[in-house]
Amino acid sequence: MRDDRWHELDVRSHERDDGAAVRYAGSDGTRAGAFGWIGLGPDRSPLTDPRGQERRFRTSGAAKAAVDRAWP
C-alpha cells in the first residue's frame, strides 16, 4: 500500500481516507515494551488476532502496515 493514503491527525492518531485508523492507546501492561498502537478498520472494528484479542503494535508504521494488509 502507498503510505500517502495515511494522514496524521495528531501525534497519537493517523487515518486513511476510507476511515481506517491507527491510534496510540498506551501500553496495556501485559507485555514487555510499549505495544501501545492499535489498528481500526474502516468500520472502526479493532484489528484482532486469531483468538479474538486486540492486536497491539510497537510503532505506528507497524500498525499501519497491518491495517493495510487487513483492509486493502
Per-position DSSP letters for 37-53, written without gaps between them: EEEE-TT-PBPB-TTSP
pLDDT at residue number 33: 59
Would you say residue 62 lies in a domain? no
Query: Checking phi first, is residue 35 left (phi over 0); if not, alpha (psi -120 to 50) or beta?
Result: beta
pLDDT at residue number 8: 80
Do 67 and 41 form a contact (C-beta atoms < 8 A)? yes
pLDDT at residue number 7: 84
Would you say residue 39 lies in a domain? yes
pTM: 0.80
pLDDT in tens, 2-55: 556 888 888 789 999 999 999 998 876 665 556 889 999 999 999 999 999 999
Q: Domain of 11?
A: 1-47
Would you say residue 28 lies in a domain? yes
Would you say residue 27 lies in a domain? yes
Which three cell numbers mark 4? Answer: 500517502
Q: How many domains does the chain have?
A: 1
pLDDT of 1 > 90? The answer is no
